[in-house]
Structure 1
Amino acid sequence: MRRTTLSTAIPALVAALAAGFLAWPGGRRADAAPSTFAHPGVTVSRAQLDFARGKVNAGAQPWKSAFDQLTGSKYASLSRAPKPRAVVECGPYSDPDIGCTDEREDAIAAYTDALAWYITRDERYAKKSIELMDAWSATLKDHTNSNAPLQTGWAGSSWPKAAEIIKYTYTGTWANSGRFATMLRTVYLPDLLKGSNSNGNWELSMMEAAVGISVFLEDKSAYDRAMAAFRTRTAAYVYLESDGSLPKTVPSQHLDTRDKIVKYWQGQGTFVTGLTQETCRDFTHTGYGLSAISHVAETSRIQGQDLYGTDVGERLRQGLGFQSKYELGEAPPGWLCGGSVKRGLGPVTEVGYNALHNRLGVPMANTQKLTERNRPAGSNNLFVAWETLTHGDNPS
Structure 2
Amino acid sequence: MKQLFLIVVCTLGLGHCVMGQSPVFAHPGLLHSAADLQRMKAAVAARRSPIYEGYKVFENSPFSKWAYQPKGPLAMVGRNPTVGQTDYDSDANAAYQNAVMWAMTGDQRYAQTAIRIVDAWSNTLQSITGKDAILMAGLGPFKMVNAAEILRYTNAGWSTAAVTRTEQHFLKVIYPVLAEFAPFANGNWDDAALKTVMAIGIFCNDREIFEKAVRYYVDGWGNGSLTHYIINDYGQVQETGRDQAHTQLGIGMLAECCEMAWHQGLDLYGYADNRLLKGFEYTAKYNLGDNDIAYTPMLDRTGKYAHSKPSELARGNLRAVYEQVYNHYVHRRGLAAPFTQAAADKLRPEGPGLPGADHPGYGTLFFSIDPVQVGNSGDVNATAIPAGLVLAAVPSASRLTWVGLHGVASYVIKRATQRKGPYVTIGTSENTTFYDSTAKKGTIYYYTVSGVQTAPSLPVAMAAGGLPLQWQNTGGTAQYDGSTFKVEAGGTFTDTAAAGFNYTYRPLAKRDELVMQVLPQPSSQFTTVGIMIRADTSFAAFMLYPGKTKEIEAPGWKLQLFQRLPVPVTGQQLLQAPAVTYGRLTGTYWIKVTRAGTTIRGFGSYDGITWNQIASLQWPAGKPSQIGVAAASNIDNTTTVRFRLP
Q: 2:79 aligns with which of 84, 90, 96?
A: 90
Check whether the contact 1:78–1:124 (CA below 8 A) recurs between aligned residues.
Answer: yes
Residues 292 and 340 of structure 1, relative CA distance in 2, 3 Å threshold: closer
Runs (5+) with no aligned partner, structure 1? 1-33, 242-272
TM-score by length of 1: 0.79
Map 1:334-349; keep pairs closer than 5 Å: 338=309, 340-342=311-313, 343=315, 344-349=317-322
For 2:217, the equivalent position in structure 1 comes to: 230
Check whether the contact 2:240–2:311 (CA below 8 A) recurs between aligned residues.
Answer: no
Give a deviation string over 1:151-208, Cα, whole Å, max 9, x none: 1110221112111111101342435121111110101112211111200011111110
For 1:218, the equivalent position in structure 2 comes to: 205
For 1:18, the equivalent position in structure 2 comes to: none
Q: What is the CA distance between 1:110 and its match in structure 2?
A: 0.7
Check whether the contact 1:290–1:316 (CA below 8 A) recurs between aligned residues.
Answer: yes
Greater share of residues in helix? 1
SS of the aligned residue for 2:77 comes to: strand
Map 1:18-29; keep pairs closer than 5 Å: none
Q: 2:240 aligns with which of 279, 285, 288?
A: 279
Distance in 1 between residues matched to 2:23 and 2:286, nearest whole Å: 42
TM-score by length of 2: 0.49
Greater share of residues in strand? 2
Give a deviation string over 1:287-318, Cα, whole Å, max 9, x none: 1111111111111111012212321x622101
Q: What is the CA distance between 1:131 and its match in structure 2?
A: 0.7
Q: What is the CA distance between 1:383 and its match in structure 2?
A: 3.3
Residues 126 and 171 of structure 1, relative CA distance in 2, 3 Å threshold: closer
SS of the aligned residue for 2:330 comes to: helix
SS of the aligned residue for 1:97 comes to: coil
Residues 53 and 205 of structure 1, relative CA distance in 2, 3 Å threshold: same
Check whether the contact 2:242–2:311 (CA below 8 A) recurs between aligned residues.
Answer: no
Q: In structure 2, give the amino acid aligned to 1:389.
A: L
Map 1:112-191; keep pairs closer than 5 Å: 112-174=97-159, 175-191=161-177
For 2:525, the equivalent position in structure 1 comes to: none
Bigger RCO of structures 1 and 2 (CA < 8 A, at least 6 apart): 1
For 1:19, the equivalent position in structure 2 comes to: none
CA RMSD of aligned residues (A): 1.8
For 1:391, the equivalent position in structure 2 comes to: 367
SS of the aligned residue for 1:208 comes to: helix
Map 1:73-88; keep pairs closer than 5 Å: 73-82=61-70, 83-88=72-77
Q: What is the CA distance between 1:346 and its match in structure 2?
A: 0.5
Distance in 2 between residues matched to 1:310 and 1:340, nearest whole Å: 27
Q: In structure 2, give the amino acid aligned to 1:295.
A: E
After the TM superposition, which segments of 4 or more aligned residues of structure 1 sit over 4 Å from their partners?
A: 332-340
Distance in 1 between residues matched to 2:294 and 2:163, nearest whole Å: 54
Higher alpha-carbon Rg: 2
Distance in 2 between residues matched to 1:224 and 1:123, nearest whole Å: 35
For 2:330, the equivalent position in structure 1 comes to: 357
Q: Percent identity?
A: 32
Distance in 2 between residues matched to 1:333 and 1:208, nearest whole Å: 29
Q: What is the CA distance between 1:338 and its match in structure 2?
A: 4.2
Give a deviation string over 1:240-277, Cα, whole Å, max 9, x none: 24xxxxxxxxxxxxxxxxxxxxxxxxxxxxxxx11100
Distance in 2 between residues matched to 1:301 and 1:339, nearest whole Å: 31
Q: What is the CA distance between 1:339 and its match in structure 2?
A: 6.4
Runs (5+) with no aligned partner, structure 2? 1-21, 297-307, 378-646
Query: How many aligned residue pairs are there?
Result: 327
Give a deviation string over 1:225-244, Cα, whole Å, max 9, x none: 12111223111000224xxx
Residues 168 and 330 of structure 1, relative CA distance in 2, 3 Å threshold: same
For 1:317, the equivalent position in structure 2 comes to: 277
For 1:202, the equivalent position in structure 2 comes to: 189
Distance in 1 between residues matched to 2:104 and 2:82, nearest whole Å: 34
